[in-house]
Amino acid sequence: MRCFIDSLLRDVIRNSNFRIEQNKIAKSAYDVLTAACERGDGEVAMVTKLCDDLHGKSCGKAKICAKKVHGNSNSSGSMVTFHNGSKKVTKELADMVIISLATQDKEIVFEKIAFIQNKKEGKSRAGKWEICPDQLYLLHNFPTFDGVSGVFGRQRDVALSNAFGRLGNYGLFTADGDMVFANARIINAIQEGKTVSFDRIRNATVKSQSNNAGPFLFDPMLMEELYHFTKHYHWMPPFAGMPVLGDCDIALNLYQFIRNWTQFNIGETIVCRGRVISGDLANLADCFIKSLGVRKNFDYIPVETNDRNEWSPEFDGAVLVLHYDMGKDNY
């Protein structure tokens, strides 16, 4: 784990090529979304074009694999049924999944996952997006649900872990080809009726990112890590305000989103130091990786959990994987 943290910090802080590549990825994504907006594309087409553009892009030791995965002909997304209060509703969980993982000799040493629901800004409502209350309830709370279609198949009583509250998120496309990223907890706190505005999201950025020791609390060698950082990064308070491995709740534009994603600041932590923290989410992430056809690049043994979750390979949505390959490097 230490070599991964060292390598990532060296890339982010000292490697100008890494930052240049981050900016190139963001610029290319901007061009794609701007062209999509000019054509009047809908959310699905915008996400598909974004995946096509991001696929194969690299950033330091990280490479992006992105694909708009199509389920079977009868698929209508990964739909789930749950109760919002006493009301039973059926909604799509998300139309985009992003996974960030780091490997050492093919072993996954760190991994995060985030579900993202995309919304397009209305032409007559600049700077505002309509948010479905039931879907927000799902992404904010992750109540127990039953699968209807897609990756959740016909499973019953699925209860996904959301310990850090970073699993459910929104990707809000603007009319000029940008994207605002916001955690569902933030949207839930600042929405007005059924809408959320850019101004209110921007005003919520004061506490939008808290880089902390959350993932490392699962590591019994925490004191050794703290000593290591104090020794080698004596100018940086240990785990306080680090630019990597944090919790990003808001990215006001596509550039901030790409930067935080490539620095492992987005999503729910599911593997740390090779230890699986959340078996159900780790197995689910493995299913998404299989859908991209890149499973051979990783060594992962599915974890037996008491959730009885056997995920279906059918997923109709975008899957984006950032793979930070440590190879055999040692620092």
SS (H, E, C) the chain: CHHHHHHHHHHHHHCHHHHHHHHHHHHHHHHHHHHHHHHCCCHHHHHHHHHHHHCCCEECCEEEEEEEECCCCCCCCCEEEEEECCEEEEEECCCEEEEEEEEECCEEEEEEEEEEEEEECCCCCCCEEECCHHHHHHHHHCCCEEECCHHHCCCCCECCCCCCCCCEEEEEECCCCCEEEEEHHHHHHHCECCEEEHHHHHHHHHHCECCCCHHHHHCCCHHHHHHHHHHHCCCCCCCCCCCCCCCECEECCHHHHHHHHHCCCCCEEEEECCEECCHHHHHHHHHHHHHHCCHHHCECCCCCCCCCCCCCCCCCEEEEEEEEECCCCCC
- pLDDT, tens digit only, all 331 positions of the chain: 567 888 888 899 889 999 999 999 999 999 999 999 999 999 999 999 999 999 999 999 999 999 998 765 455 678 999 999 999 999 999 999 999 999 998 999 999 999 999 999 877 678 899 999 999 999 999 999 999 988 888 788 999 999 889 999 999 999 999 999 999 999 999 999 899 999 999 999 865 555 555 555 555 555 555 556 556 655 555 445 678 888 899 999 999 999 999 999 999 999 988 889 899 999 999 989 988 888 888 888 888 876 666 777 677 789 999 999 987 644 3
Q: What is the pLDDT of residue 152?
A: 85
Q: Which residue has the tokens 């062209």?
A: 35
> If phi over 0 gives left and psi between -120 and 50 gives alpha, with beta otherwise, what is residue 302?
beta
Q: What is the pLDDT of residue 170?
A: 98
Query: Distance (Å, rounded) from C-alpha 246 to C-alpha 261?
Result: 10
Q: What is the pLDDT of residue 73?
A: 46
Q: What is the pLDDT of residue 3?
A: 78
Q: What is the pLDDT of residue 207?
A: 55
Q: What is the pLDDT of residue 66?
A: 95
Contact in structure between 213 and 204 (CB atoms under 8 Å) = no
Q: What is the pLDDT of residue 154?
A: 78
- The residues near 116 (Cβ < 8 Å, ≥ 6 apart) are 94, 95, 96, 97, 98, 169, 170, 171, 181
